[in-house]
Amino acid sequence: MVLYQIYPRSFADSDDDGVGDLQGIIDRIDHLDTLGVDGVWLSPIMRSPGVDHGYDVSDPRDVDPLFGDVSTLRRLLDTLHSRRMVLIMDLVPNHTSSQHPWLEAALASGPGSTERARYFFRDGRGPDGSLPPNNWPSVFGGPAWTRVTEADGTPGQWYLHLFAPEQPDLDSSNPEVVEDLDRTLRFWLDLGVDGFRIDVAHGLAKPEDLADLPADVEIAQLVVDVRDARWDRPGVHEVHRRIRRVLDAYPGTATFGEVWIGPVDRFARYLRPDELHFAFHFALTGAPFEADAIRSAIDSTLDAARASGSAPTWALSNHDVVREVTRYGNGAVGTARARAMLLAILALPGIAFIYNGAELGLPSDFSIPHDRLTDPTWDRTDHAELGRDHCRVPLPWSGDRPPYGFSGADDTWLPMPDTWSDLTVEAQSADPESTLSLYRRAIRIRHSWPTPTTPEVRWTSTPDGCLGFLREDGPVLCMINTSRRSVPLPDGTVVLSSAPLDGGLLPPDTAVWLQR
């Protein structure tokens, strides 16, 4: 299965406000069809003030007017289903928006109220409570606690937010919180969605004592430090069991958890038969283009699949990380390596995720003017970290200058570089050697293979700096050259290569599929 992640603000804008929307996706459905993907994971489109672009939800059972309404979503679903594609919604159960009626009620109700018990409200430390309840930092920078002003105007309690202050954490041990989650799941399932990507699936329960973290814990949003007691608490599994019970009543639906947990045994626990169906394994998003690193990333993902009995998942990027073209070195080299890695993930057994724009070989854009940055990380770190806007720039569709057919507006929510005219869907569709053409061809070929029955791959012996492997059912041998010189190709008929071959040689930064 190949799933395509749409960051809705950035895919296509139908109403010319400079921000992508659901009708934009419907209008561009042919792009998904031609690409040949099996479905879409849609980053959040629920009602949201947009501080973290939808990952701060103020009404989990409505569509944000920025993107359309529930009937537009229904039309998108019908359109996808009529083309045999599924729709996976993004669900954000860890926190709400600070504009959710629950937080507003909590602020109005005061300490000790049932309204505050849905979140983590605590008294501050120090004689006047002016210090946060513990030393937890937010993963977006600054403390993970914000002090509120009580109804009588005095400085009051503090509430917890692992992310931005506008994203207060919910207490999943509160029955009302999980009952509401059930309602949200059913709302979208009744509408016909095929499943959910579960945001921060490893963070949905907090340690009861909310104790200080050791001073040397590394604070990361991605691949969290196992000593950071805020993640991977035993209580998260109760939430996943509950979610599973709801989904089991809707046959054919599935969950995909965002689980940034390294150790295989702990990762695998999320995939027990009564928990998540699938979990993202992010090893490849952190691996350099280097044979040993790629091999160990692949092995760790396969180990997790073996340990859990769930299908392996592969992603080279998403809306939180640097795009692969840039990670691998930018320019022609970065693009060549990203193309090679596409052949690697598509030749592996399991589910491959493509982040919108990867099929165009888009780089991350680190030239966005600072006054246009929107990711909360930028301000929360006092401008020490640029945040993630670089990988969220709108997609270029056609023409030779911004906004490249993305929108009818002159300006887009993030500015688009004026160097992307060769990267548009239009330009690349006309070029059989383009990255887009490679994606289309590779996905089509992959669809002609039988679905693998095991997560096993067999590594073959290769020259130094290269990797070679076959799925157990072996439709092709995939060989990748990460070295600096061309190497001889193994025996076999070339099915596809990520760049032109050099006679019987596989050039650097290139991958090939060979039929044996």
Task: Please state the closest distance from residue 80 (CB atom) to ligand GLC, in A.
Answer: 22
The DSSP letter of residue 390 is: G
Tally Cβ neighbours within 10 Å of residue 193. Answer: 21
Which lies closer to ligand GLC via its Cβ, residue 392 or residue 471? 392
| CA 329/CA 334 separation, integer angstroms | 4
Spatial CA neighbour of 507 closest among 459, 465, 474? 465
Task: Please state the closest distance from residue 258 (CB atom) to ligand GLC, in A.
Answer: 6
Tally Cβ neighbours within 10 Å of residue 6. Answer: 26
The reply to whether 420 sits near ligand GLC by the rule CB under 6 A is: no
The reply to whether 7 sits near ligand GLC by the rule CB under 6 A is: no
| CA 290/CA 288 separation, integer angstroms | 5
Instruction: Give phi and psi for 123, each to the nearest 5.
Output: -75, 150
The DSSP letter of residue 117 is: G
Alpha helices in 56-174 (DSSP H): 70-82, 101-109
SS3 71: helix
Which lies closer to ligand GLC via its Cβ, residue 9 or residue 118? 9
Burial class (CB in 10 A: 0-12, 13-18, 19+), 449: middle
Task: Please state the closest distance from residue 55 (CB atom) to ligand GLC, in A.
Answer: 3
- Under rule CB under 6 A, which residues in 204-223 are in contact with ligand GLC? 221
The reply to whether 163 sits near ligand GLC by the rule CB under 6 A is: yes
| CA 336/CA 339 separation, integer angstroms | 5
Which lies closer to ligand GLC via its Cβ, residue 140 or residue 420? 140
Which lies closer to ligand GLC via its Cβ, residue 49 or residue 463? 49
Task: Please state the closest distance from residue 56 (CB atom) to ligand GLC, in A.
Answer: 7
Task: Please state the closest distance from residue 365 (CB atom) to ligand GLC, in A.
Answer: 17
Which lies closer to ligand GLC via its Cβ, residue 159 or residue 289? 159
The reply to whether 199 sits near ligand GLC by the rule CB under 6 A is: yes
| CA 367/CA 386 separation, integer angstroms | 10
The reply to whether 320 sits near ligand GLC by the rule CB under 6 A is: yes
Task: Please state the closest distance from residue 92 (CB atom) to ligand GLC, in A.
Answer: 6
Residue given tokens 């009861």 in the structure block: 208
Spatial CA neighbour of 469 closest among 315, 263, 296? 296
- Under rule CB under 6 A, which residues in 258-317 are in contact with ligand GLC? 258
| CA 424/CA 361 separation, integer angstroms | 10
Q: Which of 319, 337, 392, 471 binds ligand GLC (CB under 6 A)?
A: 319
Q: Which of 12, 80, 91, 92 binds ligand GLC (CB under 6 A)?
A: 92
Pattern of binders to ligand GLC over 51-80, x per CB under 6 A? -x--x-------------------------
Which lies closer to ligand GLC via its Cβ, residue 100 or residue 339? 100
The size of the interface with ligand GLC (CB under 6 A), counted in residues, is: 10
Which lies closer to ligand GLC via its Cβ, residue 7 or residue 469? 7
500 Cβ neighbours under 8 A, 6+ residues apart? 433, 507
Q: Which residue in the shown chain puts its C-beta closest to ligand GLC?
A: 55
Task: Please state the closest distance from residue 97 (CB atom) to ligand GLC, in A.
Answer: 10
The reply to whether 325 sits near ligand GLC by the rule CB under 6 A is: no
Q: Which of 73, 170, 181, 200 binds ligand GLC (CB under 6 A)?
A: 200
Which lies closer to ligand GLC via its Cβ, residue 139 or residue 495? 139
Which lies closer to ligand GLC via its Cβ, residue 174 or residue 221? 221
State the helix-helix crossing angle for 235-247 and 175-191, rounded to 10 degrees: 30
What is the distance, to the nearest Å, from the Cα of residue 27 to the centroid of all Cα atoms in its chain? 23
Spatial CA neighbour of 345 closest among 264, 457, 186? 457
Which lies closer to ligand GLC via its Cβ, residue 52 or residue 194? 52
Dig out the tokens for 464 from the structure. Answer: 């130094």
The reply to whether 88 sits near ligand GLC by the rule CB under 6 A is: no
175 Cβ neighbours under 8 A, 6+ residues apart? none
- Widest distance between CA atoms in the chain: 79
| CA 287/CA 359 separation, integer angstroms | 19
Pattern of binders to ligand GLC over 461-490, x per CB under 6 A? ------------------------------
* Chain residues that interact with ligand GLC, rule: CB under 6 A: 52, 55, 92, 163, 199-200, 221, 258, 319-320
